[in-house]
Amino acid sequence: MRTWTWTASIMILATLAGCNGDAKREAKRDQDRMEIQLEEAQNERDADKAQIDQLKAELDSSTKDAQQAKSDLDDTTAKLQKANDDLAAAHASQSAGDQTAVQLKTAQSNLSDSNATIDSLKSQLQDLQAKLATANDQNAKLSQQISDLQQQLTAKSATTEPAK
């Protein structure tokens, strides 16, 4: 009878040890899965951060382009104002009755040159205004993309924080 009790005890202990080993293996698998998920989330976060950095660089570049276009627009506006002043001066010279015939022809030539310059500057002004509008649109789109990615990164960071 003692042999039977001894054998039954060994079998029960062996069964319990086997169950405990299965539970440890399952816990290890769960831990490995969690580590893989954490690593994938960290990789996604790193990729998102890299994309945000790239978009910020593009935004900086677009901002510089917009600033340059604004500067060019200001220069062209100043040239246009000068051309208008020259045109007004040419009109004033043309309307003066005491000018000689030579002065009148010179004024008319200056007027034609000023008109051509004005037309050219108006065309340049329109081109620069279109470029400025495009750069502003790009800036708005890039700012929105950065905002969206930062929100996604914040959401992913909140869901991938390990429990303490």
DSSP per-residue codes, the chain:
-HHHHHHHHHHHHHHHHHHHHHHHHHHHHHHHHHHHHHHHHHHHHHHHHHHHHHHHHHHHHHHHHHHHHHHHHHHHHHHHHHHHHHHHHHHHHHH-TT--HHHHHHHHHHHHHHHHHHHHHHHHHHHHHHHHHHHHHHHHHHHHHHHHHHHHHHHHHHHHPPP-
Question: Average pLDDT for residues 115-144, to the nearest whole number?
Answer: 90
pLDDT for residue 157: 84
pLDDT at 89: 84
Residue 93, pLDDT score: 66
The tens digit of pLDDT for each residue in 16-58 reads: 555 566 888 999 999 999 999 999 989 999 999 999 999 888 8
Q: Which residue has the higher pLDDT, 106 or 144?
A: 144
Q: Which CATH class is domain 2-160?
A: mainly alpha
Mean pLDDT (whole number) for 125-152: 91
pLDDT digits (tens, 9 = 90+) for 57-98: 888 888 898 889 889 888 889 888 988 898 888 777 656 556
Domain spans in the chain, listed from the N-terminal domain onward: 2-160
In the predicted structure, residue 120 carries a pLDDT above the cut 80: yes
